[in-house]
Structures are given as structure tokens and as C-alpha cells.
Structure 1
Amino acid sequence: MKTVLLLLISNIFMTFAWYGHLRFKDAALWKVVLVSWLIAFFEYCFQVPANRIGYGQFTAFQLKTIQEVITLVVFIGFSTLYLREELKWNYVVGFVLILAAVFFVFKKW
């Protein structure tokens, strides 16, 4: 659970680093890049420990899958609440299909 919580926190930071600037189109690009890098530093402060703690309990493939699912969940909240974009049905279907991949990654074959 610690791994998942750290990945969740890291993804919140990374989502803001990558997409938070979209609301500030008038800001100079170099400033946006600099601020994004500063935010991304904190993402790494959570991502690296999450992977270090989780590796062994999970495989690297499973850690990446967990991270991607968390990224999608965080991004849905971010894009609808922060960017005020509409969550359309086709986006949901696409995300559900990606989530179906989790079954194949975690299933013991």
C-alpha cells in the first residue's frame, strides 16, 4: 500500500508538471519549463522510493502498470477539475480498455 500511495503522490506532482501550465498560455515558455522541472523534482522524490520499496513485492512490469493506472485516474481528475475539460464517453471506454491490460499483467499464468 505504501508503494501505491507514493506513486499516487508522485503522479499528482508529475501531472501538474506536464499539464498545469496549460492554464497559463501567456507565460513565457522558458518560465513554464523551469517551473515544470521544479515540480518534477518532487515527483522524483516520491517515484524513486515507491519503485525501490515496491520492487520485489511487484515486478518492474507490475510497478509500471500500477503507475500507468494511477496516472490515468489522476489525469481524469486533473483534466476535469483543473482544466475543466469534459470527460467524454470515448475517453472512458479507452481508459477501461487500458485497465483491462491490468488483468493480463497481474494474472498468474
Structure 2
Amino acid sequence: MQIPISVQTVGLLALSNVFMTVAWYGHLKNLASKPWWVAALLSWSIALFEYLLQVPANRIGYTEFSLAQLKIMQEAITLSVFVPFAMIYMNQPFKLDYVWAALCLVGAVYFIFRS
């Protein structure tokens, strides 16, 4: 059974975003007392896995989606990954602004995919 391109693309983008979010923000919690270059090296090593998922996601997705659709999809997935990460891992409080941002992204997704 062949997995649909849209499912492959969204799945790989979601997984890559988990690595991206940890690489970009995880060091703020665990390595705050370390030199910046330690955080950068650790982040780059995590980001490698992001790219190993991101690049195939975009190559697969580009066979069915436009460049703009891939980018907006990426941004919507990023917010979907970031909010739980911020709240659960970084112990940040929920903000109503997350809802407004999500609604703006829903609008962006609508407009980019409507044609």
C-alpha cells in the first residue's frame, strides 16, 4: 500500500519540526549556564536530524504541492509543534495569543490552498 504524498509530507514535516523546535529552544532550559558555543554545537547536532527529515519532506511534497503551499504548511505545523513544546517542556503558560496566531495560520492555509 502506497502512503499518500500529502500524508508523507505532513508526517515528515511534523517530525522535522519536533527536532527543529528542540534544537532551537531546548537549550534555553537545559544549557542556559553553558557557553553559547556548547548550545550551538548541540543544537546543530539535533538540527541534522531535522534536515534529514525536512529535505525529503519538501522533495516529496513538491511533487504535489506548490512552493508556497509547502511553506505555509510548514508554518502551520511549526505552531502546532511549538505550542505544546512551550507549554509542556518549557513550562510556559497557555496564552490566548496562540489561538489568534493559529487562526491567522488557518486563514493563510485556506488562501494558499483554495486555488
1:77 and 2:87 aligned: no
Question: Which residue in the other structure is 1:51 paired with?
Answer: 58
Question: Which residue in the other structure is 1:99 paired with?
Answer: 106
TM-score, normalising length: structure 2: 0.90
The number of residue pairs the alignment matches comes to: 108
- Unaligned runs of at least 5 residues, structure 2: 1-6
- Paired letter, 2:47: A
Question: Which residue in the other structure is 2:4 paired with?
Answer: none
Calculate the aligned-residue CA RMSD, in Å: 0.9
CA deviation string 1:28-47 (max 9, x = no partner): 21100000000001100000
TM-score, normalising length: structure 1: 0.95
Distance in 2, matches of 1:90 and 1:47, equals: 27
- Paired letter, 1:50: A
Ranges of 4+ aligned residues in structure 1 off by more than 2 Å: none
Distance in 2, matches of 1:94 and 1:44, equals: 25
1:14 and 2:20 aligned: yes
User: Aligned residues: percent identity?
Assistant: 49
